[in-house]
Structure 1
Amino acid sequence: MILYISNFEEETEVRTEITPGVNLTVTPNKQFKTTRIAIALIEPLDSKVLTKRMLLANVLEAASAHFPTQKAVAEKLSKMYGAGFGITVERRGNVHIMNCVFDSVNERYLADEENLFDEAFAFLKQCLFAPLVFNDAFEQETFERQKKNLGFYMQSVKDDKQLYAALSLQKNYFTDEAQRVPSFGTYEQLEKITSKELYDYYLECIAKDQIEIVVSGNVDVKECETLARELPFSKRNSFEGQLFYTQDLQMEVNEENEHQAVVQGKLDLAYNLPIFYREKGYYAALIFNGIFGGLPLSKLFMNVREKSSLAYYANSSYDSFRGFVSVQAGIQPKNKMAVQEIITKQLEDIKNGEILQNEFQDTKKALKNSFLSRLDSPTNNLDQALINILMKRNVSVQEWLQDLDAVSLDDVVEAAQKTKLQSIYFLDGEVN
């Protein structure tokens, strides 16, 4: 059953229901000489299974019954003209996405006739539906290797102080456990997972997760549908919950200071900004964040780093699916109060409308250029397709540019005024 056909610029996007809860979206695109197939497994965010989903992604990527070693997987991809394959996880607001992505050269551009597209679907089917299993559990050696590798990564986070500080701020700011923990889970959960338990969870995911198959490239829609129907997904429910995560304002700013033997301190701040993706005020919030700290010539960069020379880096980011803005600054620990005061002043200046016309226009221009450049990225196009699916609405390039252009200075000020400081995390070099 075709759910919709929409025109995105010159391309026609077709979305088809394969079976309830399993959908195919095809965007025929002659811009790239590659074909991308993605199979996304989507479920409501749950802190109890984040670690399992990360480990499961690694185990499924590493081996299958048909390709029982990573070397065998690599050899198969090499024979398919250097195809790429990977499984990633991400959190989007209140959902968690496990994304199986296959990239290959489009067979139309090969000198020899090859059924590379059919082979790509067959490869994904083998990886997802024929995992390497013995006695109703993932093969122990592969499982233990991937578990060990994930554990090493989790423990290495503390050595990347910028990432460590960002995750610590997240833990400090959010009140919901599923938002507080990293999207890749926790080491404490990882230690307890067995190969049998992970295999049981795999069966649950394959049976219950919403499935979104997305194909882009110079492809035939009917052929895509035929191949998608050969994937033995059963019917299931689609996600119908609230996509955006919302959190009540806290009356007091929550502040945490941590002491480690570091030379460069990390000052991270979290702000509540209840403006969400494509909702009223969204484009104004994008411009606000760009002026504040999201772009190279932002107020934070110019005033904290360049003019005052008080930071190695200073920037902001805006998460429109969770309604919050974070600021990150690498500083000398002794300069903490001075830097915090300058950050506060930059935000207050924007709230008071102290924005130069060239700041406003240059930020709009930079956001437009960034948006247009991402259209040349197959990865971005896949991400955008998934967002459109979750939002149940597409936005054309023209509509996006027009909505950004329509934002006034007053709109930006209004967005800034909704931004409230909630949490401060500071990692300094003092060891008690």
Structure 2
Amino acid sequence: MDYQLAKGVKLHIIPSSQFRLTNIVINFSAMQTTNNATARHLLANVLETSCQKYPTQTLLARRLDALFGAVVSANVARVGQIHTLRMRAQVVNDRQAQTALLMPLINLLRELVFRPLMNEKGFDAATVAVQKKSLAGSLAAINDDKQFVAYQRLAQLFYDQTSPMYYPSYGTSSDLDSLNGGSLVSAYRSLRDEDQVDIFVLGEVNTKKVRQAFAKWPFRDRQPLAAIADYHQSFHHRLRQQLDSDDIEQAKLDLAYHLPVYYRDPGYYPGLVMNGLLGGTPYSKLFLNVREKESLAYYADSQLRAFSGHVVIETGISANNYQRVRSLIEQQIRQLQAGQFTSEQLEEVKQSLITSYRVGLDNPLNIIEHRLVNELSGHPELFNVPEAVGLVTKQEVVAVAKQLKLQAVYYLGGDVDE
């Protein structure tokens, strides 16, 4: 059930008696630029912690406790080249609680979105200072996660530096330094008045009352996004490689392959299965041959990045195995391209993907995420994913695998012999 509250603002109600909790996601979407991610991340942290009516985290927490321990949070993410700020809320459904909780929670969310803790100079300076310090700590912690560092540096090798995809969706420490309560105002006004907004309510709810409640929110018309989530990175003919030294026990070797296959296009489901055979399931070549059989990796997996046209392979290895692991990974790619996998392996991978998809439907946030991704990419909802995966043929998998072209290699760890 979809309703338009204003131009560029939609309410999506998903009635369901499957869950004890009612879930709400308010998603604000804008195109990511080279410099807007950090401000939006800090803004998310500020919006989730206070508002005019509840100016401290303590007061806000007390109000949530009064709603049977309702939870409100905010974060940022990226769908292709679309940057999203998401406010999430959960509350026990009214039938289970035997009292009205959903409408008070919707009213509280309205306070957080439309009446944040601001004055004539901007956002409350003390609140911003606290959240800025917290975000700085989070960004510093990311740099301590060597697997994540390797993944991000691989992305920066794969993408051109002029691309917004070169910059992480969670922002950077250098951009954070210049932000304050005054500079956050423009980011907030852009979010409130210009972002595409998709509101999802999933649970055992009165559809009419939910619609009436959100219809009172003072949204202005804005220009919807033109379903341009996909980012098409041009193929570059020169392999980009970077080897960084770091005294870590477990070295990281990551590779990025260009693959012009995008979400829900004709090659998407064959691409999912190909990735499952390569490194995306426990039945994959990387897991069975690189990690288990040869014992050359602590972990070895792959991910299909279906909004940016590439496949990422991540491994944790010993530095002295660098060349052997690279060679073995390339061998697995060649085997896929040559169709060197059995019908039984193909079916195992397909069933693993179908099972994972069905298990995901037991999580309300996964259901909302699936709906949101389709909304942002302009695809209809009525689609049988298990059937589409089950119909993938060996020939289709091989055809997709043959399109894999190595674009970037990143290594972090002890010295290696090239």
TM-score, normalising length from structure 2? 0.97
Question: Counterpart of 1:60 in structure 2: which amino acid?
Answer: L
Do 1:261 and 1:430's aligned partners in 2 also have CA atoms closer than 8 Å? no
Give the match for residue 287 of structure 1.
273
Aligned pair partner of 1:131 in 116, 140, 143: 116
Shift of 1:91: 0.7
Which residue matches 1:98?
Answer: 85
Q: Which runs of 5+ in 1 are unaligned?
A: 1-13
Give distance in 1, aligned partners of 2:381 and 2:212: 28
| Structure-1 residue corresponding to 2:76 | 89
Give the whole-Å Cα distance in 1 for the aligned partners of 2:235 and 2:140: 32
**CA distance in 2: counterparts of 1:318 and 1:221, whole angstroms:** 37
Alignment partners' CA distance in 2, 1:60 and 1:16: 25
1:39 aligns with 2:26: yes
* One-letter identity of the residue aligned with 2:196: Q
Instruction: Find the partner of 2:63 among 72, 76, 82.
Output: 76
Pick from 27, 32, 50: which aligns with 2:14?
A: 27
Deviations 1:352-380 (A, max 9, x none): 00011121000000001001111111110
What's the C-alpha RMSD, in Å, of the aligned pairs? Answer: 1.3
The separation in 1 between residues aligned to 2:138 and 2:351, in whole angstroms, is: 38
Alignment partners' CA distance in 1, 2:116 and 2:42: 14
1:200 & 1:158 partners in 2: Cα distance? Answer: 29
Q: How does 1:225-244 map to 2 (within 5 A)?
A: 225-240=211-226, 242-244=228-230
Contact 1:33 1:105 in 2 (8 A): yes
CA deviation after TM superposition for structure 1 residue 76, in Å: 1.5
Gaps of 5+ in 2: none
By how many angstroms is 1:77 displaced? 1.4
> Which residue number in structure 1 is paired with residue 39 of structure 2?
52
* Shift in Å, 1:17: 0.9
Tell me if structure 2 keeps the 8 A contact 1:293–1:316.
yes
Q: Partners of 2:106 and 2:397 in 1: how far apart?
A: 46
Q: Which amino acid aligns with 1:383?
A: E
Q: Is the 8 A contact 2:227 2:377 kept in 1?
A: no
2:145 pairs with one of 142, 155, 160:
160
Q: Which of 153, 157, 165 is residue 172 of structure 1 equivalent to?
A: 157
Report the secondary structure of 1:365's partner residue. Answer: helix
For 1:213-292, list aligned pairs within 5 A.
213-240=199-226, 242-292=228-278
Structure 2 letter corresponding to 1:358: E
What does residue 62 of structure 1 align with?
49
Query: Secondary structure in 2 aligned to 1:350?
Result: helix
Equivalent position SS for 1:62:
coil
Letter in 1 for 2:7: P
Superposed structure 1 runs of 4+ greater than 3 Å apart: none
Give 1:346-357 correspondences, 5 Å limit: 346-357=332-343
**Following TM superposition, by how much is the alpha carbon of 1:131 offset from its aligned partner in structure 2, in angstroms?**
0.8
Q: SS of the residue aligned with 2:242? A: strand
After TM superposition, the score normalised by the length of structure 1 is 0.94
Query: How many matched pairs?
Result: 415
Report the AA paired with residue 65 of structure 1. Q
Of the candidates 388, 401, 408, which is equivalent to residue 386 of structure 2? 401
Deviation at 1:200, TM superposition (A): 2.5
Q: Percent identity?
A: 33
Kindly state the Cα deviation for residue 141 of structure 1 after the two structures are TM-superposed. Answer: 1.1
Task: Kindly state the Cα deviation for residue 248 of structure 1 after the two structures are TM-superposed.
Answer: 1.3
CA distance in 2 between counterparts of 1:361 and 1:390 reads 31
* 1:241 positional shift: 5.1
State the partner residue of 1:419. 404
Cα displacement (A) at 1:404: 1.2
Q: Distance in 1 between matches of 2:378 and 2:413?
A: 45
Q: Which residue of 1 aligns with 2:355?
A: 369
Identify the residue that residue 302 of structure 1 maps to in structure 2: 288
- Paired residue secondary structure (1:185): coil
What SS does structure 2 have at the residue aligned with 1:189? helix
Give the whole-Å Cα distance in 2 for the aligned partners of 1:403 and 1:244: 21
1:8 aligned partner: none
1:206 pairs with one of 192, 198, 208:
192
Q: Residue 191 of structure 1 corresponds to which residue in structure 2?
A: 177
Amino acid in the other structure paired with 1:423: A
In 2, distance between residues paired with 1:123 and 1:391?
A: 30
